[in-house]
Structure 1
Amino acid sequence: MPEISREILSVGDLNRAIAASLEDRFDTVWVGGEISNFKAYDSGHWYFSLKDEEGQIRCVMFRGRNGQVGFMPQSGDLVEVSASLGLYVPRGDIQLTIQTLRRAGMGGLYEAFLKLKAKLAKEGLFDEDRKRDIPTHPRSIGIITSPQAAALKDVLSTLARRAPHIPIVIYPTLVQGPDAPGGMIAALKAAEKENAVDVILLVRGGGSIEDLWAFNDEQLAYAIASSKIPVVSGVGHETDFTIADFVADLRAPTPTGAAELAAPRKDQLLQELDAIKQALLQRVNQRVEREAQTLDQLALRLGHALPNPDRMREQITNWQLRLNQAWSVRMENWKRNQSHYQSQLEMLNPQRTLERGYAVILSKDKEKLQAVRKPSELNTEQGYQVQLAEGRAEVTFSEVLREP
């Protein structure tokens, strides 16, 4: 009889009681582990599991929280989370409702990153209405990075493929270590002072948060925001975010992506010019046809109004000849302009300069190639590479005579 009189709970009531007990028992906890089965839903919420050698637990991070993470987690990432412990009543699963997520072992750096990000966002440095438009047809492009960085080679090859006619100016600087922020700030100021480029690419390859930390410098953020030249950031991989990315006028997922966003494709430019040409020809032909019809109407009216139709017909013929001559002259001018524009594009190709008999001398000092610009940089102790129109040659000088 006593067993019959006991209260019988529904499954939902039991799960709610367990959930309330867990919430009362545990305050916010910090948990570290490896992400497994990560899924980002269209709603913006993240669902995954945290696991280690001894177990795993389900996790959820809602959209309002994960917007502050700064990177897109992936299965296999080692992370640390602060969360409240509870139970998902419909399934009876214990789960963590995550409030903060950071990469494992980056607690101090990540906290500093979030603090500076919040400060600069409050000051308006990330506002879209503050950012400048990237020029669609830049006259020249500046690159701020390390000369030894692999990212520089990728950027230069991309620019050479897409827009070989656009001059490139490299502002060398450190991109890692305590001296890197000051070097990048100095490079930005040098670019502004020279005023030789229309857009700046601030690029570096991927790495850990420690490797990319120079791009989270507060003074560098202010320098990018105050730059008179638009800045495109291409730092790390697609999932890496730095303060420089948020404050730059345009963020690219990779250094190569930054080059693609800054440089128009040469073939597209030629297609645009051809489209403009065809549109002009169509409008001119339409205008000529309208004027010819008007001329026919005038000729008809003159033929009925004047007593000497033969003379008027002769004048009309002369007018037609003059119109045809003017039209021919105009067409020749348009053709010359088109050829001129095409010649200008071709002249901007560095290869054409070499084909005219010029050469570039590259020094091979310290296992890197640098263009020789002054006679004082030539000597007989080291070798040089001479870039010609149809190849390159390795040379050494037996004697160097410098003219004053």
Structure 2
Amino acid sequence: MQYLEVPFAQKEQAKALGARWDPLKKKWYLPDADQLDLTPFQAWLPAELHAVAQVDATSDAGEQSALSLSELLRQVQQRLLQAFSQTLWVKAEIANLSERRGHWYLELSENNDQGQTLASCRAMIWASQAESLLASFEQVTGSALADGQQVLVQVQVNFHERFGFSLVIVGIDPSFTLGAIEANLIAIRQALIKQGIYQQNKRFAWPGDFFRVAVIAPPKAAGLGDFRAEADHLAKHQLCEFVYFYSGFQGDNAADEIAIAFEAVIARHNVQAFDALVIIRGGGAKLDLNPLNHLKLASLIAQAPLPVLTGIGHERDNTILDEVANRRFDTPSKVIAAISQQLVQAAKQANQAWQVIQQTSLLQLQQAKANLAQLKQQLRFQQTQQLGYWQQQLSPLYQQIQHTSLRQINAARIQLDYQITQIHQQAWRPIQPLKTHLSELNQQVTKGAKQQINLQRQACQQWIGFILSAGPQTQLKRGFALAKTIQGAPILSAQAAQQAGQFNLEFADGAVSVITTHNNQESS
């Protein structure tokens, strides 16, 4: 194996040429450098490989007794085979895994708690054993052999003069891999208990009804489709609103992605509260659960400000998320079934409560009506009794008041008549002289008016006679003549008569026709 110094901009080029990435050392390397032509990789090889070794040609004293490199390595090979003639069980982590022509090549490593590599070596599973070993491992663990897994492998030490040291894997204990996951689970559980938050989310009561539910799930998970089949039906009928937050659930970044989705849920919850948070995944291998066994995620869920429901998708295998959640379900379908059942139960309880309220209201109404009728009868009876009693009590008083009132009225009437008489007498004394004077004035006015009427009548008669004596006939009898046009209109000036040419002159005894001439403006 040969590590390379590959700039980030050239990583795709190195990958295309066959280089592999070591996530622990964060470097690119060649797994079988001694079998490859390194010419394409010259630009990325360490500087010390480019240096020209300088050999002291003057010193050849030990040349005769020196071993060749191949002889030395064969002796090393023999010593190793003698020292490790039997197979050994080795614990390690798979740093890299690849397949070539049916053979599987591994990079095994051992790291300390700080993530530093303590040891590493190459290993291989030959094609003759690969199929049976990998199939057995997957059958027990539910997941294929992959990078990052802790494994207990049965190995045979191998050393080759050209390829160096390596291990040949002849057996794998899958229970160790599962045990490593369980150990991690125990460590997380103890840390949560020590912090006092292991049971914190379970303190939330199961929601009596669901109105808004947040869901964290992989975007294309089969379990999400099963969940939404029922959830969309509930949302369509406006029974419950579901808000989805998508995140990856596998790979090294799974915990960070889920944490980001969780923070988004809490941000929305602080604005408009959710009734519950659902985390679903659905199906998958047992080892695929390992990314979910993360202390950070468990702490977030344990301290969530709302009940968390999980449906990871495993009936027998739990994750730490299932343990700290408010309630665990085997599958996403069972989560939505529980929510739907709760909605149905709440609806039934509401219906039953309504029926009880309705029946109770009817009974109370009937009882109130009966009580009201009874009170009405009692009131009428009491009114009759009270009315009779007070009539008896008031009858003497009424008669006494009536007699007293009559006496007072008669006395007041007599007093009033006396006062009216006095008023008439007192008022008549000043009125009598005024009345006499008014009568005298009336006579004077009447006499003066009659005199004025006679005088005006005489004056009118004189004016009428004057007007009648001033008429045309009277004037004609006095010797005057009246000039009129042929049409009978009066002529008022000589100029008008000249212009008319012919006109009539009326006298008291008749009329003559006159024709005008223009000489000297005289008529003929």
TM-score, reference length from structure 1: 0.47
TM-score, reference length from structure 2: 0.37
Higher RCO (C-alpha under 8 Å, 6+ residues apart): 1
Instruction: Compare the two structures and name the one with the higher helix fraction.
Output: 2
Q: Which has the larger radius of gyration?
A: 2
